[in-house]
């Protein structure tokens, strides 16, 4: 699977170019499925955020990029659908556009729906995460970002990548570099702090930061 882990969607030309490179074709020739689920979770979830994400009315460009087609994959609905149906929908998509919201709520439903188990087999699919949609693929989100509490407790995410993400860097006092440093100290692993103009691109075993803004890598092994 190819990953484009964004803070706030495809906000600039550099991130858009990275997306096209991962797709291997123009966006206008690619089919996407958007996953709004995370927008319902956590203390700030409401019905308006998912609608804005699906309809392309949000300030974080994802569904409105000019795709050939966009469908909706609601993870909470999948346990009641024959897997043979929805798995084919996912496999036929060129990209999965994964909404922000609550990362642990998203992780829970990725596991419950079966999508988490399917992800490793999607070699050519591009996963485009938005904030919590990006954090869900990391080993841990950190206690700082625990809103919705999973049944098992803790802050563990899916661990598809081996680094964690602190999103929205410099977008407010609660997302300052000082807060990012405190968060990183508790992660006990490699982590990136990224702002709205930044994404982390993962493909073929390589990691590349794509940015027209600000970011920082926290690497305890390098500093130790």
Domain edges within the chain:
2-162+195-205
Write phi, then psi, for 213 (nearest 5 degrees): -140, -130
Q: Say how far apart CA 56 and CA 17 lie, in whole Å.
A: 20
Q: How far is CA 224 from CA 26, 80, 188, in A?
A: 43, 49, 12
Q: List beta partners, residue 145.
A: none
Q: What is the pLDDT of residue 162?
A: 96
Residue 21 has pLDDT above 60, yes or no: yes
Segment 154-180 shows an average pLDDT of 96
Q: Which fold has domain 2-162+195-205?
A: Rossmann fold (3.40.50)
Segment 127-154 shows an average pLDDT of 95
Q: Say how far apart CA 94 and CA 124 lie, in whole Å.
A: 7
**8 Å CB contact between 196 and 8:** yes
Q: How far from each other are the two terminal CA atoms of the chain, in whole angstroms?
A: 31
Q: What is the pLDDT of residue 32?
A: 98
Provide the whole-model pTM.
0.96
Residue 222 has pLDDT above 80, yes or no: no
Q: Say how far apart CA 138 and CA 203 lie, in whole Å.
A: 15
């Amino acid at each position: 699977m190819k990953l484009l882990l964004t803070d706030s969607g495809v906000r600039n030309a550099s991130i858009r170019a990275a997306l096209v490179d991962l797709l291997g074709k123009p966006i206008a020739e690619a089919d996407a499925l958007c996953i709004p689920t995370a927008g319902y979770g956590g203390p700030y979830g409401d019905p308006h955020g998912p609608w804005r994400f699906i309809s392309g009315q949000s300030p974080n460009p994802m569904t409105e990029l000019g795709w050939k087609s966009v469908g909706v994959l609601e993870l909470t609905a999948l346990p009641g659908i024959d897997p043979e149906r929805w798995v084919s929908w996912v496999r036929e998509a060129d990209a999965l556009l994964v909404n922000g919201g609550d990362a642990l709520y998203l992780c829970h439903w990725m596991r419950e729906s079966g999508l988490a188990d399917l992800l490793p087999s999607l070699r050519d699919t591009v996963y485009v995460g938005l904030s919590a949609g990006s954090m869900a693929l990391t080993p841990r989100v950190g206690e700082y970002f625990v809103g919705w509490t999973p049944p098992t407790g803790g802050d563990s995410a899916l661990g598809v990548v081996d680094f964690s993400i602190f999103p929205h860097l410099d977008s407010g006092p609660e997302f300052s570099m000082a807060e990012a440093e405190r968060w990183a100290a508790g992660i006990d692993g490699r982590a990136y702090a990224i702002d709205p103009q930044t994404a982390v691109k993962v493909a073929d075993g390589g990691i590349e930061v794509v940015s027209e803004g600000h970011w920082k890598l926290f690497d305890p092994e390098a500093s130790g």
